[in-house]
Structure 1
Amino acid sequence: MSKSTVIYTKIGEHRGKQRLWLEGNRLARTGITPGQRFNLVAGRKSLTLQFAENGAYKVSRRKRGEVELPVIDITAAELAQALGKVERVRVLVRGNRVDITIHHHDLAESDRMGRLLQSLTKGEPLEIGSIAHGGGVLDHAIHAGLADVGMPSRLAFANELEGAYLEASLANNPVWDEDSIAIQGPMEEVEWHKLPFIHLLCAGLPCTGASLSGRAKNRLDRAEAHETAGSLFIAFMNAIQTLRPAMVLLENVPQYQTTASMTVIRSVLASIGYDVYETILDGYAMGSLERRDRLCMLAVSKGIEVDLEALEPVRQREASIAEVLEPFQVVQDRFKPYSYLADKEARDLAAGKGFRRQLLDGSEASLGTIGRGYSKARSTEPFLRHPDDSGQSRLLTKAEHARVKTVPEMLVQGLSETVSHELLGQGAVHCAFRAVGRLIGNCLRSISEQDKAAWQQKWLKTHSAA
């Protein structure tokens, strides 16, 4: 078997022309020597150097010490004609030939943008995939935002670990259609290559290892140490590299922004041709009564212009919590003393701790974050005081919880209070991500016909015979 060398390299530029430079023992070990002549033969998405005595081009030489090493320097028009305007190539040096093909990352970038622009041109729906779907609050918000600006969309598939959450979404969430694929199980086990192509991947990766409460509860020194959630970013990246969506949306707690996981996500996305944008969405500023901040990362293929600073609220926030509360007659039996919480607060105050109960009367303009375990009646989450008995209080109902997050109540219809609070407590502020959906739709609508034509020409160049 002849010796082979595989080189992944970038295309350079010399005097306005594309340039490929190869040199050294990587060539010499396969038998290539200075002075050899070769021809350039264009193929399907490839360029081949075939060595021949009367070839049109010659292998140059470079002296390193006392050793002369071969140099192949290609600036010929055949390079651009065969491969198009690409940034990276794969070079296989073997025997009496050198095969140059488009780098698989460049092919993937061209493919995902070509598919997107083809769908936009035809007016086809944006195909969306969902990971860590939960009850589909994030997905519903994105689909709603896209619809607001006239961008059709559909759910291609959704993956969720918890069967109860997936059941709830299937029963209540209108993002599903008869062709959507429901996938229940760990995302690490999903065979991404068997799923249909998508334009946008949405993910609300579990925050249990990154949130302040999660790290304290589980005594973690880093998010990646969490037993189940810590390594999920690897499955997330595998999904992206296999599905090759044109856009990726990630939602998580603000603390996730400084994790090692997020550092890896940024680095890998940049290396495979995405531009990565991040912001912290303030739910209150975006129109919700709940003060809930969330990391929003939007990674897009080159050619899609994004400005997260252009996000605008989609609704006017209520003046006070009272506007979303159930009538007293409906909730009067829910009030309890919760004496153990009062005792805990007294102990914390005596110990100099800053933990205080959130006891509200409805006149407040906002309330603090409500988490996944809200139904457990934890000490620092919002409670409503009895209007006539200050010693009693109650939790928000599932409908009230949905309203302070601006989540459509239909998404928790027919569910128990416990499951509803879990879905809502780990979900997104709906109005904030509806604004993100609008932004994505407007970004796609702003792609000019000229840009579409240029990208489609590039896509055809890399997906048809030269």
Structure 2
Amino acid sequence: MPSLINRNLTEHRGAPRIYLDGALLNELGVDLDNPFYDRIWESDRLILRLNSAGKYKVSSKKKSGILSMVFDINTSKLSSIFSANSKLRIVIKKGYIVVTAHASEDAIEARERSFIQAIKDGLLSTASIFHGGGLLDYAMHSGFEKTKISSTTSFAIEIDSRYLNSSIKNNPHLFNSKTLFINSDVADVHTNKMRQVNALYAGIPCQGASLSGISKNKLEFAEQHTSAGACFFSFLNIVKASNPALVVMENVKAYMKTASFAVIKSVLGGLGYDLHTDVYDGSEFGATEKRERMVCIAISKGLNVGNMLSDIVEQIHACKTPSTPLAEIIEHLPADHPAWKEVDYLKRKEVRDREAGKGFRMKILDATATTCTTLGYGYAKARSTEPRLAHPTIKKLSRLFTKVEHALIKKAPPSIVDGLSETVGHQILGNGVIVSLFEAIAYSIGKVASKFFPKVSLAA
């Protein structure tokens, strides 16, 4: 029976190596009295054909008393067809063996060539999963544009139509007439015939990984969350189908310790990506909000020759800048505006929390504050631990930040939540990213790539 082997090209004594043995070679039908063969080198494959007058001899070995045939090809000539550590497809049939690059290697080469050309042309095709109101896409687009690289969204997936409609209206520069908007649970998106893109962005939902989400939903582990727990699986399917050369994903810091992220790292590595993961504080990139987020940047392995990722990380750190004080962004509401409230119920809750030994405290800031803690998805609910602005003259009064202030706190343009209620605006912003951080990330990728790729030489 024919056999198929998928395995990586290895290295032995400084040269590439293909080693085959065992019962998988039985179909070949080696003549033990005449175990010779030819190596036929073609531009994209190596054929091993049995030939009694061949130049090479099939080796043999005994293991547990059973004689086994062995092909041991250890030569630098393999480098003329296959790249180092590339995945091979080895087909064994009667009388011959055919060794070619695995289809995944073709996909890797295709995405790398496309990305390099896109950088040279100054126009990237991008896609977005868990698009929300488009903050991550806006930030990446803006950062790339600072290096004279434009980008257009090929497709955007978002389950909440309010958020997607808002982004379509408020971020028209991200899209064109060919953009596909997908209003759907990501699990219901078919990946067959999915468009290939140069870059893919994803802010995987964090409800199962955040400390508040674990506590509120009484979860033992992040993957137990009913709606968000399996999102990583759909994310990986879309990465494989859209075959980007660059993947940027973000989440809460705690996500780094989840099984989901362990799987993501393993699968992306298997798909041919080199990864860098770090935690960044938004207030170190000009934002007012001290929002710590895990960021994972995945680059197709052939583009990371010379450790391009290290240069990108170095450039990101060079983009750090002081936070923006509240005084520069707050709207000056009248002293008798109804937004100013006593919130006695929150003050009473704080007393109860103190008595119970809990660490929950109100965070009331005045205009001199240079940073604030995180404003989350449910900020409009006036929760006890999220920051409020103190009244300038009446000590017992405070208020929530407006959606415009919330946008500026995250270094996002207020226009990104135009036409939305305060509640929905805060939801989009609370689920969103620190725009200045991801501008810095895209700027760093674009700057390094623009200088680096002319030095990259891919096999013809």
1:442 corresponding residue in structure 2: 447
Larger CA deviation: 15-24 vs 335-344: 15-24
Change (3 A) 1:16 1:255: closer
Select which of 167, 170, 177 maps to 1:169.
167
- Give deviations 1:249-293, integer Å, cap 9, x for gaps: 011110101111111111111122211101111111111111111
Contact 1:27 1:70 in 2 (8 A): yes
Q: CA deviation at 1:444?
A: 1.1
2:194 corresponding residue in structure 1: 195
Alignment of 1:285 with 2:291, yes or no, is no
SS at match of 1:197: coil
Q: CA deviation at 1:139?
A: 0.8
Larger CA deviation: 275-284 vs 194-203: 194-203
Alignment of 1:428 with 2:433, yes or no, is yes
Q: After superposition, where does 1:331-346 map in structure 2 within 5 Å?
A: 332-346=337-351
1:463 corresponding residue in structure 2: none
Instruction: Return the alpha-carbon distance in structure 2 between the equivalents of residues 16 and 358 of structure 1.
Output: 61
Alignment of 1:94 with 2:93, yes or no, is yes
- Give deviations 1:39-74, integer Å, cap 9, x for gaps: 334457322223233333332222335432211123
Instruction: Return the alpha-carbon distance in structure 1 between the equivalents of residues 48 and 115 of structure 2.
Output: 34
SS at match of 2:385: coil
SS at match of 1:420: helix
AA matched with 2:216: K
AA matched with 1:383: R
1:270 corresponding residue in structure 2: 269
2:240 corresponding residue in structure 1: 241
- Give me the CA root mean square deviation: 2.1
- Give deviations 1:324-381, integer Å, cap 9, x for gaps: 1112239822112222112211222232322111112222121111100001111111
Change (3 A) 1:62 1:328: same
Instruction: Return the alpha-carbon distance in structure 2 between the equivalents of residues 346 and 75 of structure 1.
Output: 74
Contact 2:39 2:47 in 1 (8 A): yes
SS at match of 1:40: strand
Contact 1:209 1:229 in 2 (8 A): yes
Q: CA deviation at 1:238?
A: 0.8
Alignment of 1:392 with 2:397, yes or no, is yes
Change (3 A) 1:127 1:330: farther
Change (3 A) 1:330 1:32: farther
SS at match of 2:283: coil
AA matched with 1:425: G
> Which runs of 5 or more residues in structure 1 are unaligned?
461-466
SS at match of 1:299: strand
AA matched with 2:361: R
1:186 corresponding residue in structure 2: 185
Structure 1-normalised TM-score?
0.91
Larger CA deviation: 193-202 vs 8-17: 8-17
> Which runs of 5 or more residues in structure 2 are unaligned?
none
SS at match of 2:299: strand
Alignment of 1:371 with 2:376, yes or no, is yes
Instruction: Return the alpha-carbon distance in structure 2 between the equivalents of residues 301 and 197 of structure 1.
Output: 14
Select which of 312, 315, 319 maps to 1:313.
319
Q: CA deviation at 1:195?
A: 2.8
SS at match of 1:332: coil
Identity %: 35
Q: CA deviation at 1:427?
A: 0.5
AA matched with 2:213: G
AA matched with 1:50: R
SS at match of 1:342: helix
Larger CA deviation: 90-99 vs 322-331: 322-331
2:10 corresponding residue in structure 1: 12
Contact 1:202 1:248 in 2 (8 A): yes
Change (3 A) 1:18 1:139: same
Larger CA deviation: 133-142 vs 22-31: 22-31
Change (3 A) 1:279 1:78: closer
Instruction: Return the alpha-carbon distance in structure 2 between the equivalents of residues 367 and 86 of structure 1.
Output: 48
Contact 1:112 1:246 in 2 (8 A): yes
Contact 1:33 1:59 in 2 (8 A): no
Q: After superposition, where does 1:121-160 map in structure 2 within 5 Å?
A: 121=120, 123-160=121-158
- Give deviations 1:104-125, integer Å, cap 9, x for gaps: 332222221122123334x141
Q: CA deviation at 1:240?
A: 1.2
2:73 corresponding residue in structure 1: 74
Instruction: Return the alpha-carbon distance in structure 1 between the equivalents of residues 453 and 240 of structure 2.
Output: 27
Q: CA deviation at 1:88?
A: 2.6
SS at match of 1:178: coil
Select which of 343, 352, 355 maps to 1:347.
352
Change (3 A) 1:195 1:68: closer
Larger CA deviation: 427-436 vs 353-362: 353-362
SS at match of 2:408: helix
Instruction: Return the alpha-carbon distance in structure 2 between the equivalents of residues 348 and 85 of structure 1.
Output: 59
Q: CA deviation at 1:315?
A: 5.5
Q: CA deviation at 1:411?
A: 0.4
Larger CA deviation: 50-59 vs 195-204: 50-59
Contact 2:4 2:91 in 1 (8 A): yes
2:29 corresponding residue in structure 1: 31
Change (3 A) 1:403 1:81: closer
Select which of 412, 419, 423 maps to 2:424.
419
Instruction: Return the alpha-carbon distance in structure 2 between the equivalents of residues 131 and 343 of structure 1.
Output: 41
Larger CA deviation: 7-16 vs 362-371: 7-16
Instruction: Return the alpha-carbon distance in structure 2 between the equivalents of residues 83 and 290 of structure 1.
Output: 48
Instruction: Return the alpha-carbon distance in structure 2 between the equivalents of residues 418 and 8 of structure 1.
Output: 52
Instruction: Return the alpha-carbon distance in structure 1 between the equivalents of residues 72 and 390 of structure 2.
Output: 78
Change (3 A) 1:362 1:186: same
Contact 2:326 2:371 in 1 (8 A): yes
Instruction: Return the alpha-carbon distance in structure 1 between the equivalents of residues 113 and 430 of structure 2.
Output: 38
Q: After superposition, where does 1:45-84 map in structure 2 within 5 Å?
A: 45-75=44-74, 79-83=78-82
Contact 2:251 2:294 in 1 (8 A): yes
